[in-house]
Amino acid sequence: MTLIQISALLAFCLLLILLTVRARGFLRSQSRGFASRDSRLGDADIADMVRNGELLAAMRAYRELHGVTLKEAKGKVEAMAESIAASKFGSARQ
């Protein structure tokens, strides 16, 4: 093999590695996030998650939507859950 062929083969291999790494990063970021760039979740969606008992998913979505820490998201989602439970209990008594 000539030096030109070796360098072309090396460039091709590096290109394949780069594309693989980028594709894996893209797929990982797509599966990790709840709110993609195309369809963002809102507070109403998070409230629905809380009503359905999906507290961890609600915390993740809240963090992504508002850009807060896990501790802040946990506090907000738990407060939301208490509020929803209190409104259910209040409406059941009437």
Q: Is 53 in the same domain as 88?
A: yes
Domain count, the chain: 2
Considering the chain, what percentage of its residues have pLDDT values greater than 70? 77
Residue where the block lists tokens 């209040």: 90
Domain carrying residue 57:
39-94
Q: Is 44 in the same domain as 2?
A: no
Q: Is 68 in the same domain as 46?
A: yes
CA distance 73 to 79: 10
- Residue 20 token pair: 């693989």
pLDDT tens by residue, 34-52: 544 435 788 899 999 999 9
Kindly state the average pLDDT of the residues 83-88.
87
Q: 50 Cβ partners below 8 Å, 6+ apart? A: 58, 77, 80, 81, 84
Q: Is 23 in the same domain as 44?
A: no
Q: Is 56 in the same domain as 90?
A: yes
Q: Is 82 in the same domain as 55?
A: yes
Q: Is 54 in the same domain as 82?
A: yes
Confirm whether pTM is higher than 0.75: no
